[in-house]
Structure 1
Amino acid sequence: MIWGVNLEDTSKYIELIKNLLISSPLRKRLAESDNTPFKNLISQNLNKVMDSVEILEYKENEPLKIVILGEVKSGKSSLVNALLNKEISEVDVLEATSTIIEVFYNDEEYFRVSNDITKIGLDLDYLKKINIVDTPGLRSTTLKNEQTTLKYIENADLIMFVVDATHLGQEDIYDSLDYIASFNKPLIGIVNKCDLINDDKDEIREYINDEYGIYCEDLFMISSFLEYQDRISKNAKAEDRDIMLPTDKNLKEGFENLKRYINNVYNNYEGVKVNSVKSSIESIIHKEVINNYDYSKSISIIIDELKKYRKLLEHKVDYISTKMNFEIEDWVNRIFLSDEVEKIKNSIEDAEIYINEAYINSVISKKKEELDQIFFEEWIECLKEVSNEVDEDIKKYIENIEYRSELSEAPSFEINDEKINLNELLATVGTGAILGATSGGVISLYAAGVGTSAASITIGSALITYCPPLLIAGTISGALGKLIYDKIKNDQKSKELISDIEIFIKEIKSNVVGTLTEGYDNSSKEIVRTTEDIFKISKNISINDYEAEKLIEDIEVYVDDLKKYMNYCYV
């Protein structure tokens, strides 16, 4: 569909875009399943986009909204007074009344204050197609004022950004312009209080064109205070000797040019409204592209890190398995019951002391405690190492984002380099928002998951709670064991008994090696499985690899489709 030149075509296009947004893969998944990674974060972003569409639906037939923005004490209020030739906004106050003032047409004068918004109705033809909104500033004294101002920006058809001529070049001006530009609204710059500067005004004009021209369709140098003084002086009484008159013809001309600009907006109401909606839809689509691109990119990063995490853990399993096998076999082959056998050989009577279930179990249990300590210490270090490595990888993705956060929205100025894909460039900006939400190490979550005693619990005991090694059972029983025990109990001590004991111990060693090895291997597998689950929880990944890859694929198709519709906005 191509943009028409009337509001009827615009209305159809809004409906088309709305239906396209509703059918997005992410919105469908959020509607159908609670099992969506970063659900709360992405839901907020997607809901903001839909809210913007709904605002467009209601504003088509409303008067044009001209929103006046700027830093505190930049002369916004005196500008409103001068434009309407009437004292509407207070001047020379820190933030005026610290409210937003909206002036609109009404056949009878109307004044009402509600929720820090002052609404004034005036019987002025000038206001029949235009509403003027005076805001207290983007950096207001109250958060509520800031939030309300943002809503007015989103609903604006034209933004007039007022700069104090005595404070040009401040960093906060650029920050504000960056942010305002993200809404892709028609924006003009007004350099106010130019009567207070003594520098060459042509040089000032060249400077502001260089500095702010990238953001603004047009720039005007004025003194709204002197202009208003000039206007009220025409109705002033003779005794009003404190009224000042403008002395700079260039400033007078600048204000007249501004008035002509606004009159052109007034006379071209429908065209301006259509272009305003076009710009808004372009911004909405761009934000939708960024949200989806950012989401899929973040999920891809986390899934890739999960795969890497899995491989690192598998390598650690091999490492720990090799170490434990060595410790077990070395102990069994060199130490286990070796001294006891020598003592029995020297004194057959000692067989009764050492060859019994209680003693052998105590030897195995004591060694198993040592092996458990080695096993869990190795896993603790491995988990810390792997978790830190993966978290560092994720941090690098965030640290590599060098663009200012304001640019995560769609600025309206153009980038001439055709090789730059603005969507992809900007998508990397917001990725940190999602990846930043993946904080929370595996180690801490292990302990936290154990329960109320997590504050004092050790990682070793936490691991044991989750993944206890298999207990040794059946290693010293069986027919041969029973035979040996019976012989010793019946005092059947002979040289043949020593041979039987050696065979018995050999069998025990084999069973101990097999049982301990299998137990620690199973525990390692359980640790890997549990750690993977905890890793997913810590990174807010609650879907399997296939689901994630399918979602990413669907989002990519959707984003490509969105870009096509965004291109229509330029036709």
Structure 2
Amino acid sequence: MTKTLLHPELQPLRDQLGEIVKELHDLAIQTGNNDLGNTVSDLRIRLNEPFMFVIVGEVKAGKSSFVNALLATGREIAKVAPQPMTDTIQQILYGEEEVITEINPHLKKIYLPVEILREIAIVDTPGTNTIIEHHQEITEKFIPYSDLIVFVFEAKNPYRQSSWEFFDYVNAEWRRKVIFVLQQKDLLDEKDLEINLQGVREQAVKKGMEAPKVFAVSAKQEQEGLTEQSGFGPLRDYIRENITGGQAPLLKMINNVDTAVNISERIGEGIHLRRAQWEADIAFREDIRETLDAQEAKSHKQVDILVENLLAGYDRITLKKEQELRSGLSFFSLLKRSISGVFSKKQSAKEWLEGLSGELENDLNAELSKKLNEGVVDLADSIQQMAKMIDLKIRNSETILKNDHELFSEIAERRENILRELQDAFTNFVQNTENFRDASLFPDKQALTPNLAAGGGIAAIGVILMAVTNGMVFDITGGLLTGVGLIFAGVTTSLKRRKIMAGYEEEVNNSRLKIEEEVSEKLKLYISNLKKRIDHNFRRFDQLLEQESKNLQQIEDTHQKVRNDLDQINSRLDEQR
């Protein structure tokens, strides 16, 4: 029966840690990252396992011989082979009877009735430099659950690059407790051995370790009974004083908490990037809205200017004709024209009025066409520039969360796909002329829609605006001319000057009001509808932002709780140290 190693006061802490890791697992699942979820799931399983030694190093460094000598069973537990024949990790644990269980093709558990295994488990890993596929990958997957990592080097050459690169991974990613063992020291003289021991110490310090522990051993000498020379004595003393002498349960729990904190920090860093990306996207989206709002205000102002210019031209022409009419309708002028019409070829009053009406029509057409063309060109150019600006903003939107992110690559990729769809949709939108027509505003002007075969998309907006505004304005002025014509037609039968002038002024004022109201109202409505159509391209992106806001809040709340719980259990563990 295996004795209970956990002190009674630590049991509640272990139970609490189990609950925290369960919450951490839920958090990992929320990230959508399967690898992280598996890592935390494995951590939950290993909470109740013994203190774990993970033996790492290059092939041929003597790892298996080291393990066999450390266990001192008098037999070969970890297989020693001249070549890396397998990519199997061997986890050696205490058991009342010797049992070998294959967990999966890459993990084998060996249970042995060896006393030291009551408090520690030993993991013999493939070499860091082996060419066999998956060796380093499966070793890295075991590192997060280790309590002590033993780096085994060949005493003759402890400077091989692959081992130190693996150390960088262990030290940077998981900050595990590490000791260094120079194996096969019997192959070096004392002077060279001391040089290499010091070299390993200096290399470890250079990489950020404080007071690194470095041991020189010979598994061969230990197994031959030369225990004084083998160097295993100081190593066993270190293990006894720091681990097996009652410290293992507490150290194991501290390491588990450190692993949980590490995972939590990694998730926190990813969440921070997600939040930064969401905020950048919100700012981008708000910038688009502000651009559209600013363009709408600018375009409305341009419509006001266009209408003002139209009215100025309209007023100048109609006032001039009003003055001519007023002068021509004087008693003597009419009498003169009437007599001239009878006794000469000069214009009669009727002919004069018809000529005046024709001049009014021609002058209005020339003046208003010019003003419309100038105003519509400015308005169309402004809208086209706005569309180009929005297209550029979409293309240059800031990407903070990359699609190769360790945890949130799927989320980043989904965002990237939606942004690409947005870019394509907007490009198609501005290239499609139909998006800039608005039949609902001008249902009776379809015949005025020009043939746009020579150019399409947003480039056609000036032609469209010119067609609808020309048609609208000249319908209004056409009504004016019809009304004036009817007034003038009665002059030959009635010379009521005041009534004629009042009728002319009324027709002019009514038409002026229609130009001011209808041109302004319909153009502004057209611009507002166009703004909505442009904004509609962002609907999927908006849905993404809305969903991401909810997801972020949920994952941030869970993460904050896990962090608080880990801080609390760390404080309680500090009291036990």
Question: How far apart, CA to CA, are the structure 1 residues paired with 2:89 and 2:232?
Answer: 23
Question: How far apart, CA to CA, are the structure 2 residues paired with 1:509 and 1:551?
Answer: 56
Cα offset, 1:205, TM superposition: 2.5
Deviation readout 1:351-410 (Å, 9 max, x if unpaired):
999999xxx99x99999799567525413313523763x516x48xx9xxxxxx9xxxxx
Tell me the residue number matched to 1:254: 231
| CA contact 1:157–1:272 (8 Å) conserved in 2 | no
- Among 198, 213, 224, the residue aligned to 1:219: 213
| CA contact 2:158–2:196 (8 Å) conserved in 1 | no
| CA contact 1:89–1:101 (8 Å) conserved in 2 | no
- Among 31, 34, 40, the residue aligned to 1:49: 40
Tell me the residue number matched to 1:308: 283
Question: How far apart, CA to CA, are the structure 2 residues paired with 1:40 and 1:462?
Answer: 39
Tell me the residue number matched to 1:76: 63
| CA contact 1:355–1:485 (8 Å) conserved in 2 | no
| CA contact 1:177–1:215 (8 Å) conserved in 2 | no
Summarize the Cα distance change of 1:72–1:523 in structure 2 as closer, same or farther, 3 Å threshold: farther
**2:86 aligned with 1:97:** yes
Question: How far apart, CA to CA, are the structure 1 residues paired with 2:141 and 2:432?
Answer: 50
Summarize the Cα distance change of 1:482–1:189 in structure 2 as closer, same or farther, 3 Å threshold: same
| CA contact 1:14–1:281 (8 Å) conserved in 2 | no
Question: How far apart, CA to CA, are the structure 1 residues paired with 2:101 and 2:525?
Answer: 80
Question: How far apart, CA to CA, are the structure 1 residues paired with 2:260 and 2:154?
Answer: 31
The amino acid of 2:251's aligned partner reads: N
Tell me the residue number matched to 2:465: none
Kindly name which structure, 1 or 2, has the bigger radius of gyration based on alpha carbons. Answer: 2
- Among 414, 418, 430, the residue aligned to 1:460: 430
SS of the residue corresponding to residue 74 of structure 1 reads: coil
SS of the residue corresponding to residue 446 of structure 1 reads: helix
Tell me the residue number matched to 2:451: none
Cα offset, 1:68, TM superposition: 0.9
Tell me the residue number matched to 1:385: 393
| CA contact 2:31–2:408 (8 Å) conserved in 1 | no
| CA contact 1:376–1:463 (8 Å) conserved in 2 | no
Matches within 5 A, 1:20-35: 20=20, 27=26
Cα offset, 1:122, TM superposition: 5.7
Question: How far apart, CA to CA, are the structure 1 residues paired with 2:108 and 2:185?
Answer: 29
Question: How far apart, CA to CA, are the structure 1 residues paired with 2:39 and 2:433?
Answer: 43
Cα offset, 1:56, TM superposition: 0.7
Cα offset, 1:553, TM superposition: 6.8
Question: How far apart, CA to CA, are the structure 2 residues paired with 1:347 and 1:438?
Answer: 69
- Among 262, 281, 284, the residue aligned to 2:260: 284
User: 5+ residue gaps in structure 1?
Assistant: 32-37, 235-245, 399-404, 406-428, 451-456
SS of the residue corresponding to residue 163 of structure 1 reads: strand
- The one of the two structures with greater contact order (alpha-carbon pairs below 8 A, sep at least 6) is 1
Tell me the residue number matched to 1:445: 421
* Greater share of residues in helix: 2
The amino acid of 2:572's aligned partner reads: Y
Question: How far apart, CA to CA, are the structure 2 residues paired with 1:71 and 1:92?
Answer: 13
Summarize the Cα distance change of 1:143–1:439 in structure 2 as closer, same or farther, 3 Å threshold: farther
Cα offset, 1:161, TM superposition: 1.6
Question: How far apart, CA to CA, are the structure 1 residues paired with 2:95 and 2:31?
Answer: 45
Summarize the Cα distance change of 1:309–1:125 in structure 2 as closer, same or farther, 3 Å threshold: closer
The amino acid of 1:255's aligned partner reads: F
| CA contact 2:295–2:386 (8 Å) conserved in 1 | yes
Summarize the Cα distance change of 1:150–1:510 in structure 2 as closer, same or farther, 3 Å threshold: same
**2:159 aligned with 1:160:** no
| CA contact 2:153–2:181 (8 Å) conserved in 1 | yes
| CA contact 2:181–2:217 (8 Å) conserved in 1 | no
| CA contact 1:104–1:132 (8 Å) conserved in 2 | yes
Summarize the Cα distance change of 1:564–1:516 in structure 2 as closer, same or farther, 3 Å threshold: same
Summarize the Cα distance change of 1:221–1:274 in structure 2 as closer, same or farther, 3 Å threshold: closer
SS of the residue corresponding to residue 570 of structure 1 reads: helix
Tell me the residue number matched to 1:422: none
Summarize the Cα distance change of 1:215–1:69 in structure 2 as closer, same or farther, 3 Å threshold: farther
Deviation readout 1:147-193 (Å, 9 max, x if unpaired):
54345434444321223445545665444224334545543211235
Matches within 5 A, 1:363-442: 374-385=382-393, 388=396, 391=398, 394=400, 440=416
Tell me the residue number matched to 2:455: none
Deviation readout 1:261-300 (Å, 9 max, x if unpaired):
45667853x53133212321232134325524652x3354
Tell me the residue number matched to 2:181: 190
Cα offset, 1:55, TM superposition: 2.4
SS of the residue corresponding to residue 204 of structure 1 reads: helix
Matches within 5 A, 1:551-566: 556=560, 559-566=563-570
Summarize the Cα distance change of 1:523–1:21 in structure 2 as closer, same or farther, 3 Å threshold: farther
- Among 520, 523, 530, the residue aligned to 2:527: 520
* Matched length: 487
Question: How far apart, CA to CA, are the structure 1 residues paired with 2:22 and 2:224?
Answer: 57
| CA contact 1:190–1:222 (8 Å) conserved in 2 | yes
**2:272 aligned with 1:272:** no
| CA contact 1:377–1:460 (8 Å) conserved in 2 | no
- Among 523, 547, 554, the residue aligned to 1:542: 547
Cα offset, 1:115, TM superposition: 1.0
Cα offset, 1:515, TM superposition: 1.9
Summarize the Cα distance change of 1:121–1:303 in structure 2 as closer, same or farther, 3 Å threshold: closer
Question: How far apart, CA to CA, are the structure 2 residues paired with 1:53 and 1:109?
Answer: 26
Question: How far apart, CA to CA, are the structure 2 residues paired with 1:553 and 1:51?
Answer: 24
Tell me the residue number matched to 1:204: 196
User: 5+ residue gaps in structure 2?
Assistant: 322-354, 444-468, 492-499
- Among 472, 483, 501, the residue aligned to 2:441: 472
The amino acid of 2:89's aligned partner reads: I
Question: How far apart, CA to CA, are the structure 2 residues paired with 1:46 and 1:463?
Answer: 50
The amino acid of 2:122's aligned partner reads: I
The amino acid of 2:180's aligned partner reads: G
- Among 124, 135, 141, the residue aligned to 2:125: 135
Cα offset, 1:521, TM superposition: 3.2
Question: How far apart, CA to CA, are the structure 2 residues paired with 1:325 and 1:298?
Answer: 40
| CA contact 1:446–1:463 (8 Å) conserved in 2 | no
Summarize the Cα distance change of 1:232–1:15 in structure 2 as closer, same or farther, 3 Å threshold: closer
| CA contact 1:102–1:131 (8 Å) conserved in 2 | yes
The TM-score, its normalising length taken from structure 1, stands at 0.64
Summarize the Cα distance change of 1:188–1:316 in structure 2 as closer, same or farther, 3 Å threshold: same
